[in-house]
Amino acid sequence: MEIADKQACAELIQAWGFYRDQGRWSELLSLFHPEGMIAVSWFRGSYGEFVERCRQSFGQGSLSKHLLWPSLVRGKGTRAVAETNVAILVRQEIDGVLVDLTSRARFLDRIEQREGRWRILERATVYEQDRLDPVEPSIMFVKLMQAANTAQYPAPYRYMAFRVLAAGRTLASPVHYDGLPETEALKGRFEAWLHGVG
């Protein structure tokens, strides 16, 4: 894979964070192939529907920021897979308490070149670790967490799950994390695709 192609794939991934956080919907749509798919904590399905759901909820009670590290891109011919560390920062009010979520995760992307242009074909987010903090420490936050029963969720996305449900959304099962059988199968499928299978 040429350096220019790796750079094009990496810039595609970086652009996603800017467009998503700033509500630049037409540009966000342009980063994926039309049949693209995406899996995050609260959504699994077509990328077009994901962007529309983001657009509908933009500015409606929570603010998010995606901090993306440089991507590791591997390619063969017109196919590439990329792995990108991301910190997802969300500010949200839950039961009258303003909180900040910090989630560490990775984006796993299948990227394909068509007619000379690279676009993402599929993205899955793999969650690693998270935490929830009050914007201002208070007894209300302590009581909120005492009633939250967050231990029912897997540790890699425990507080993300709590936040998603508090926002009135549902979890899109399976939510990926390392060691989960479905996640390990997904990694294998991405690797096989890179080598021409599927």
Residue 96: phi, psi to the nearest 5? Answer: 85, 0
Q: How far apart are CA 109 and CA 122, in angstroms?
A: 6
pTM passes above 0.85: yes
Mean pLDDT of the chain: 95
State the DSSP H helix or E strand holding residue 55, giving kind and residue range, or none if neither: helix 47-57
Residue-wise pLDDT tens digits, 116-125: 999 999 999 9
Residue-wise pLDDT tens digits, 178-187: 999 999 999 9
How far are the Cα atoms of 37, 65, 82, 152, 190 from residue 108, in angstroms, in the given order? 12, 18, 6, 26, 9
Check pLDDT > 80 for residue 60.
no
- C-beta separation of 98 from 135 below 8 A: yes
- pLDDT computed for residue 168 by the predictor: 87
- pLDDT computed for residue 1 by the predictor: 85
